[in-house]
Structure 1
Amino acid sequence: MKQVLYIVDVQPSFSPPAKLVDDITELAKSLPSIASVERHDESVTPFERQLGWKPGKADESLVPADRIFIKHGYAPPKAAIDYLCSLDLDRVLVCGIQADTCVLAAGFSFFDAGLQPTLVPWLTIGSSLDRSGALGARLWQHHFGAVLAGPDELEI
């Protein structure tokens, strides 16, 4: 199976648990990997004005990946989507930070681009609304259907 791991916003601004970073890093060693990093640019996405919060201007991915894409806002940048589409993949494995916001936004973007987004829920955490990520996994299942049950479904 031709697949890639897409890692959403595992960066200092979101204070990911060390175990999550370690586990995603291990998986990224065995698959082609792409990571997104959310950077703040108020002229592009009004996080500070509307939410009173902003990600760091210089955050870097805490997970080494083959490709890193900088994004502003919830969804992946067009360059990341174009790159994924150019790979002719069977599926895009998605994990990372904020299952119910940024991870879900990646799922919608990939789905709309004709890709097969597949959630890796044990390597995904939710926002402060639901840190467990269960809400995001339920929404993902409802909209895209593809949620892995465990590591044996990775097909590495």
Structure 2
Amino acid sequence: MRQALLIVDVQRSFSPPTKLIRSIEELLPHITSVATVERHNESRVPFRRQLDWAPAPDDEALIAADRIFIKHGYSPTPEVIDYLRSLKTERVLVCGIQADTCVLAAGFALFDAGLSPTLVADLVVGSSVDRSGRLGIALWRHHFGGVVSSYRDLIPERG
């Protein structure tokens, strides 16, 4: 099955746990990867005005994905969706920061584009509402169905 990994907002502004970064890095050699980085631009998304917080305007990905796309706001850009379509993937695996917001928004965008989103449950962290990510995983199951419990199941056996 042709698949790609979408890594959502694993960047300094969201304080990702070291374990999350190391686990994603362990999977990277085995799959085509795309990462998003959320940057602040108040003229495009009113983070400061509405939430009194914003990601850094110059934040960078902490994961060395094959392709990195900058976004402003919760959802991946049309360029991300177009790129994933160009890969002719049958399934897009999703991981990253804020399982109940940005990761979920990526799921909706992928679903609406017909790209079969599947969450990698042990490679997500939730927002400050639920840092465990359980809420986001439950919402993902409800809306999209596809969940892989462990990233290790995606790594081919050495033989």
Distance 2:85 2:53 in 1: 32
**Structure 1 counterpart SS, 2:48:** helix
Q: Which amino acid aligns with 1:94?
A: V
Q: Which residue in the other structure is 2:132 paired with?
A: 132
Any runs of at least 4 consecutive aligned residues in structure 1 with deviations exceeding 6 A, and if so which? none
Residues 88-130 of structure 1, C-alpha deviation per residue, up to 9 Å, x if partnerless?
1110000000000000000000000011000001010000000
The one-letter code sitting in structure 1 at the alignment partner of 2:5 is L
Matched to 1:48, the amino acid is R
Deviation at 1:19, TM superposition (A): 1.1
Per the normalisation by structure 2, the TM-score is 0.95
Match of 1:8 in 2: 8
Displacement of 1:81: 0.4
What is the distance in 1 between the residues matched to 2:153 and 2:29? 17
Using the size of structure 1 for normalisation, the TM-score is 0.97
Deviation at 1:155, TM superposition (A): 6.2
Q: Any stretches of 5+ residues in structure 1 without a counterpart? A: none
Deviation at 1:37?
0.1
Which residue pairs with 1:101 in the alignment? 101
Matches within 5 A, 1:4-83: 4-83=4-83
Q: Percent identity?
A: 63
Distance 1:36 1:28 in 2: 15
Residue type of the partner of 2:67?
R
Task: Give structure 2 stretches of 5+ with no counterpart.
Answer: none
DSSP-derived class of the 2:27 partner: helix
**Whole-Å Cα distance in 2 between the matches of residues 15 and 80 of structure 1?**
23
